[in-house]
A and B are shown apart, each in its own frame.
Chain A
Amino acid sequence: MSAAAGSRDRGELLKNGAIQLMLALNAVIMIYPLFVMVISSFKTNAEIFSSPFAMPSSFSLTNAERVWTETNFVRYLANSVGITTAAVALILLFSTMAAYAIARYQFRLSALVLMFFLSGMTVPLKLAIIPLFIQLDTLGLVDSYAGLVLVYVAMGIPSAVFIMTGFLRTLPRELEESARMDGASEFRIMRSIMLPLARPALVIVAIQNAVPIWNDFFFPLVLITSDDLKTLPQGLTVFVGEFTTDWGVLFTGLTLAALPITLLYIVLSKQFISGITQGAVK
């Protein structure tokens, strides 16, 4: 009996060892390319070509300086920060307002309005890009920050309304009733009593929207043509076209572009993972 259990333990140990080995191999495959990207950003072309696996001979910032001064990189970065911030802020504002109305008040068309927002979740807006382009063109919003931001806001609202409505419905009714008895206005009840409680849901909605907007390439590609308005992913394609043979600069550009979101991810990995897989794991 104990001998059998012992051999089973040994078998289990062996199997777990094999699993750990497989996981370690996978971790290397996921991480090593990013590691090479980072160390290559400190290298000269000659170093990259002749000794791709070696550490850089010095951690020189020459490449970074060139990216900073010879390209429009800083501008692209600033555009991405501005567009993502504006879009996420408007998504949070508009969706929370709408969700608050649906979740906290009873009115005749409430179910219909919710249905309308929910059906927006299934629409692949990329496939409606032609009429969207025409629409933005008539409004004079092609090749402008506002046009791009509004498209992102439209894309983000449906699932944001869905999540916020679900969350706001769970808040106890007594809170608002007693505030109403004390004579607080509806706006104050929403602003000072209900919304502070909704913070965790707002964080999830913010991350869920910020990541795809920050990373998006398709909509800027179609809607933005001025170099000064380009976002970071779009700007990278310009940048790569200009420095095709200068690999040190290319790796530096990629590293710098990946840096902001990677740092945020390392700090907030739990929120990132639940934000991005939200909807698929329920």
Chain B
Amino acid sequence: MNNGRRHTAKAFPWRRSLWIASLLTPALVVMVLFVLWPLLSAFRLAFYEFNGLQPTSFVGFENFRKVLFETPYSDWTYNALKHNIIAFVALMVFENGTAFLLAYALLKALPGHRIHQVIVFLPVVLSAVIVGFLWKLFLHPLFGLVNQTLALVGIGAIPWLGNESTALGSILFTNIWHWLGFPTLVLLAGMQRVGKEVIEAARLDGAGDYVLMTRIIWPLIAPSVTIVTILTFIGSFNWFEIPYVMAGLTGSPGGATDVLGLYFYRTAFGSTTTGIQDFGQGSALAVMMFIIVAGVTAIALRYLRRREIEL
């Protein structure tokens, strides 16, 4: 029995191949069926006209022309795109800026820094749906926690989510509250890798906090900054859940919070208000979002990586 089994692999090469193949098969089948095939189809379907779920005829770039150049679709596209860009810039400045300062403060390892890391990361593990609804209640014009607090210092009720000028900002604030812990701990990990010796040496040379932060830490954590920037960009252009929960499928009020993710979802799966449901245009939007994300990521990686190498 034992003798028969010994060196099975060498004695029966086909058995070894079969064993390896059976290990690989389940994962490969799932990947081909639910990642590779859908992804390849996504590009193809953008060139078809649809009748419900069925692609009916090849129409070339017609779907792209519509979403980019034909009103009202193009107005919706650019309005949404504008908000994605605003979201990216705002998150870079306010979320990642705050995260950088927090990480620097935590790097000092003052008493309580460990518990602070756990606290700042807590909202990250919660669903965007919970966070979105919670802040929607807090931002309620009359009974919300935010206006009730402001009322204590005599500031009148502000309809945060109902006002075109404050709605996007309020949703961005919620997003920052939700995710702040992520860039904070990624940047902190980057700073910790800089090493105590480097920081001590700079301190002995008389570098204060400002010089240390801008001249030593900032350049040396370039890899972490690259990752955070790219993840923020991908997040901003796939942004969907918090706007959906807080402002609804149409990006209310009046499209002031509409983003590409919402617009794509409305186009592909229909919205109760417009009744439009178009897989062709939806696919064209998805392909464009894919190209934006993949293209900018590739360019940014090259540019940001170069910054890393120079230093």
Q: Which residues in A have some Cβ–Cβ distance to B below 8 Å?
A: 15-16, 19-20, 22-23, 26-27, 29-31, 33-34, 36-37, 48-49, 52-53, 93-95, 97-98, 100-102, 105, 107, 113, 116-117, 120, 122-135, 137, 150-151, 153-155, 157-158, 161, 180-181, 183-187, 211, 214-218, 222, 232-234, 236-237, 240, 247, 250-251, 254, 257-258, 261-262, 265-266, 269, 272-273, 276-277, 280-281
Contact A131 B9 (CB under 8 A): no
Q: Of all chain B residues, which has the CB nearest A27?
A: B119
Contact A16 B127 (CB under 8 A): no
- A interface, over-half SS: helix
Contact B130 A233 (CB under 8 A): yes
Residues of A with C-beta under 8 A to B303: none
**Complex Cα gap A126–B34 (Å):** 11
Does B5 have its Cβ within 8 Å of any Cβ on chain A? yes
Does B116 have its Cβ within 8 Å of any Cβ on chain A? yes
Q: Which residues in B have some Cβ–Cβ distance to A below 8 Å?
A: 2-3, 5-9, 16-17, 19-20, 23-24, 26-28, 30-31, 33-39, 41-42, 45, 53, 101-102, 105-106, 108, 110-113, 116-130, 133-135, 137-138, 142-143, 145, 148, 177, 180-182, 185-186, 189-190, 209, 224, 227-228, 231, 234, 238, 240-241, 244-245, 261, 265, 268-269, 279, 282-283, 286-287, 289-290, 293-294
Contact B128 A215 (CB under 8 A): yes
B248–chain A nearest beta-carbon distance, Å: 11
B135–chain A nearest beta-carbon distance, Å: 7
Residues of B with C-beta under 8 A to A120: 31, 35-36
Residues of A with C-beta under 8 A to B261: 126
Contact B145 A33 (CB under 8 A): yes
**Given A120-B35, A135-B34, A185-B8, A236 contacting B130 (CB threshold 8 A):** yes
Q: Of all chain A residues, which has the CB nearest B34?
A: A154
A236–chain B nearest beta-carbon distance, Å: 5
**Complex Cα gap A250–B111 (Å):** 37
Contact A34 B122 (CB under 8 A): yes
Contact A262 B112 (CB under 8 A): no
**Complex Cα gap A19–B53 (Å):** 57
Contact A16 B110 (CB under 8 A): yes
B240–chain A nearest beta-carbon distance, Å: 6
What are 10 inter-chain pairs, A to B, with CB distance below 8 A? A19-B105, A30-B119, A30-B123, A49-B143, A53-B148, A123-B39, A132-B34, A134-B279, A187-B19, A216-B127
**Complex Cα gap A49–B141 (Å):** 12
Contact A33 B135 (CB under 8 A): yes
Q: Of all chain A residues, which has the CB nearest B294?
A: A122
Task: Give which listed residue, A15, A33, A126, A134, contacts B177 with CB less than 8 A.
Answer: A33
**Complex Cα gap A273–B228 (Å):** 16
Q: Beyond A217-B241, A251-B137: 9 further Cβ-contacts under 8 Å? A: A33-B145, A101-B24, A105-B16, A124-B238, A128-B41, A158-B35, A180-B9, A211-B125, A277-B189
Q: Of all chain A residues, which has the CB nearest B185?
A: A277
Residues of B with C-beta under 8 A to A133: 53
